[in-house]
A and B are shown apart, each in its own frame.
Chain A
Amino acid sequence: MTQPLVVIDALARSFAGVPAVREVSLTVGAGEIHALCGHNGAGKSTVVKMLSGQLTPDAGRVLLAGEEVDLRSRQVAQQLGVALVDQELSVVPALTVLENMMLGDIDAPLIKRRRAAAERCREILRDIGLERLRPGQLVSTLSLGERQLVEIAKALSQRARVVILDEPTATLSEAESQTVFAAVRRVAARGCAVIFVSHRLPEVLELCDTVTVLRDGRRVTTAPAAELTVERLIVHMLGETPHRLEASRQPDPDLTHALRIEHLRVPGRLADFTLTARAGRIYALAGQLGSGASDVLRAVAGLHPTADGSVELRDRAVPFRSPVGAARAGIAFVSNDRKGEGLFLDQSVARNLTATRLHKARTARSLAARAGLPEDRLADPVRALSGGNQQKVFVGRSLDRPDVHALLLDEPTRGVDVGGRAAIHRLLRDAADAGLVVVFASTELEELLELGDVILTMRDGRVVETYQGGTDGAALMRDMTEGKDAA
Chain B
Amino acid sequence: MRQERLVPAAALLLVVVAFALTPLGTGVPLATFDIYNALQGFAQIGLLALAIGLTMIAGEFDLSVVGTYAVGGMIAVQAGQSSAVLGLLAAVVAGAVIGAVQGGLIAWLRVPSVPVTLAAYIALLGLAYAISGGLSVTFTNRDATLWVDQTVAGVFSPRSLITLAAFGLAALVLGGTRLGAELRAIGGDRRASRVAGVRVDRRLVLLFTTSGTLAALGGGLLCFSFASANPDPGLRPLLIAAVAALLGGVSLAGGRGNPWGLLAGALAVALLAQIVAVAYLPDWSTQLFYAALLAVIVAIDSPGLRRGIDRIRARTRTAEA
Contact = CB atoms under 8 A, between A and B. Distances in A.
Contacts of A90: 189, 191-193, 195-196
**Chain B, interface SS category:** helix
A93 B195 CA distance: 14
Contacts of A111: 176-177
A84 B198 CA distance: 14
A138 interface: yes
B184 interface: yes
A84 B197 CA distance: 10
B63 to A, nearest CB: 23
A84 B196 CA distance: 8
A138 B2 contact: yes
**Chain A, interface SS category:** loop
Contacts, number: 94
B267 interface: no
B194 interface: yes
A92 B318 contact: no
Contacts of A472: none
Interface stretch (A101-109, A182-190, A192-200): A101-109
Interface string B149-187: 000000000000000000000000000111101101101
Contacts of B177: 110-112
15 contacts: A88-B191, A91-B196, A92-B188, A94-B254, A94-B256, A95-B184, A102-B178, A104-B197, A109-B178, A111-B176, A112-B177, A154-B196, A308-B321, A321-B315, A322-B311
B310 interface: yes
Contacts of B179: 110
B318 to A, nearest CB: 5
Contacts of B248: none
Contact of B193 (A78, A104, A112, A321): A104
Interface residues of A, number: 34
Interface of A: 54, 74-75, 78, 84, 86, 88-95, 99-100, 102-106, 108-112, 138, 154, 305-308, 321-322
Interface string B43-58: 0000000000000000
Nearest to B197: A104
B57 to A, nearest CB: 9
B275 to A, nearest CB: 33
Given A102-B181, A305-B310, A306-B314, A75 B197 contact: yes
A75 B193 contact: no
B187 to A, nearest CB: 7
Contacts of B310: 305-306
Nearest to A91: B192
Contacts of B110: none
Most chain A beta-carbon neighbours within 10 Å: one of B178, B193, B313: B178
A74 B184 contact: no
A86 B192 CA distance: 9
Contacts of B193: 90, 92, 103-104
B256 A103 contact: no
B199 interface: yes
Given A112-B177, A305-B314, A92 B197 contact: no
A94 B314 contact: no
